[in-house]
Structure 1
């Protein structure tokens, strides 16, 4: 799914993941952050994360951009 094609719920889910990641990275740093922590805070399943990001590095790069 191309990032620019997200609509409605997809945009909200992606934003929730980014906000959760920002909080997790800020609290525990990159090394101790995990996809599990991010998805739990965002309230989504772990598999959902991979619909939007390829991994922790990709979401980290977007958070700090």
Structure 2
């Protein structure tokens, strides 16, 4: 997903002659933010003592898909 987002955003920016440094930052941050959210959620759940169940293991794939 990370590579797809970066290649798609940078490729379309090159096609429309709008490639700037900020476009690359937006592409990278759009790919990293969901990963950080998933890691934070699993970490906080572990910190407060929630047991890991099958739903918790499936949710990261659903979040990344949306």
TM-score (norm 2): 0.39
Q: Which has the higher contact order (CA 8 A, sep 6+)?
A: 1
